[in-house]
Amino acid sequence: MSELPPTINFDYIKSNFFRAVHADGVWGGINGHLDVVMAFFSERPAIPQRLVFELDGHALGKELTEKRVGRDATVREVEVTVSMNAEMARSLHTWLGERIGEIESIKSQLQGDKK
């Protein structure tokens, strides 16, 4: 019977679809497989669908803002959806708690330095 090695190595390699995203919020719940499903979104003002400008010879003049076409809302652009089983969600919960603790500790130290 072979003996297990004392250590194991993990190499992190970015997939072809890797990208960094910013999250302003998350929407989700539990799916039929009892996985936690989270759709992370970023918020931004709506980009106009159409702008209309006067022409001043061969140059753009002022924008006719009353002819602007766009959304009357803030856009929540869904960046990525992540689903995970309860065990992974529990692990993520622990990991996030640790990171939040680190942030609070750093902020506390910075506030102490200002006094």
CA angle (94, 34, 89) in 5-degree steps: 10
Q: Note whether 39 and 78 are same-domain residues.
A: yes
29 and 79 part of one domain: yes
Q: Residue 64: how many CA atoms within 13 Å on its side-chain side?
A: 8
Check whether residue 99 and residue 77 sit in a common domain: no
Report if residue 15 sits inside a domain.
no
Work out how many domains the chain is built from and give that number: 2
Average pLDDT, the chain: 95
CB 36 within 8 A of CB 53: no
Can you tell me the distance from the alpha carbon of 52 to that of 78, in angstroms, rounded to the nearest whole number? 29
User: Is pLDDT above 80 for 31?
Assistant: yes
Confidence of residue 115 (pLDDT cuts 50, 70, 90): low
pLDDT tens for residues 66-112?
A: 999 999 999 999 999 999 999 999 999 999 999 999 999 999 999 88
Beta bridge partners of 81: 39
Q: Does some domain include residue 29?
A: yes
Q: Are residues 70 and 90 in the same domain?
A: no
The phi and psi torsions of 96 (rounded to 5 degrees) equal: -65, -40
Range of the domain at 105: 86-115
pLDDT confidence band for 2 (50 / 70 / 90): confident
Distance CA(35)–CA(94), nearest Å, equals 17
